[in-house]
Structure 1
């Protein structure tokens, strides 16, 4: 249970780091913004909706997890690859490989559904499953 929580915490930290490093994070709207602050005419409302759509396209909303056995002497599909991508296919793929005596975690940048770093077949599967 502790290992699972540690892995989840690591995933969240890596995802936040990936977003921060790519510079795709936008400032949240002010909590003080009220419905009366919104534009009243239809054209301005359409522009606001278009801006919100564009902003949401940069969020990491396409995700997929592929579980597998990385080594023949282990079972239970404890190793996994997680793809966290935006609408353009940019984001990160995180892989955790579990062995009998150790585990390793890797993070690789993804841009336009591919990576400059060589991907494992499981990482490629995670990316292809996350693609709409």
Structure 2
């Protein structure tokens, strides 16, 4: 049975190769030599646009992670529990960006922002902020 499956897979692969070769011949016959220089100017312009977009995407803030926690310990003060504090890392492909933190207490909330360069900060990071940066780096 394994031989029959192998032969069938080989026949399907050969059929796909024949179809691909026929399509390639048709396309190259219509466009001339099939060389990149024969492409219309619009297609070359699109290639440049795609390259520019890839460059811009590298600096987009796309490595994101949130760590939620109880800043004052679970058993200390029930009114400040519920994991209402959080740290949010917003980073690009180079590890540049920021980590934002909100510490929620019973009577007030405080917010902090720290810059990140190459996955590190010049300012000391809390364990939760380090965790958020670590999670963002793995995304």
- Give the TM-score normalised by the residue count of structure 2: 0.63
Unpaired runs of 5+ residues, structure 1, are: 1-38
Structure 2 CA distance for aligned equivalents of residues 64 and 107 of structure 1: 15
Tell me the residue number matched to 1:94: 100
Structure 2 CA distance for aligned equivalents of residues 41 and 86 of structure 1: 29
Q: What per-residue deviation string (whole Å, max 9, x for no partner) do you get for residues 41-83 of structure 1?
A: 43x4322211110011111111110000000223100000001
Tell me the residue number matched to 2:71: 70
Unpaired runs of 5+ residues, structure 2, are: 1-40
- Flag the structure with larger Rg: 2
State the structure with bigger RCO (CA 8 A, min sep 6), 1 or 2: 1
Deviation at 1:91, TM superposition (A): 0.5
Q: What per-residue deviation string (whole Å, max 9, x for no partner) do you get for residues 78-124 of structure 1?
A: 00000111111111100000011111100000011110000000000
Structure 1 CA distance for aligned equivalents of residues 108 and 81 of structure 2: 14
Tell me the residue number matched to 1:113: 119
Task: Write 1 or 2 for the structure with the bigger share of helix.
Answer: 2
After superposing on structure 2, the runs of 4+ consecutive aligned residues of structure 1 that deviate more than 3 Å are none
Q: RMSD of the TM alignment (CA)?
A: 1.2
3-state SS of paired residue (1:128): helix
Structure 1 CA distance for aligned equivalents of residues 118 and 97 of structure 2: 9
Structure 1 CA distance for aligned equivalents of residues 43 and 68 of structure 2: 50
Structure 1 CA distance for aligned equivalents of residues 43 and 81 of structure 2: 61
Give aligned pairs, total: 93
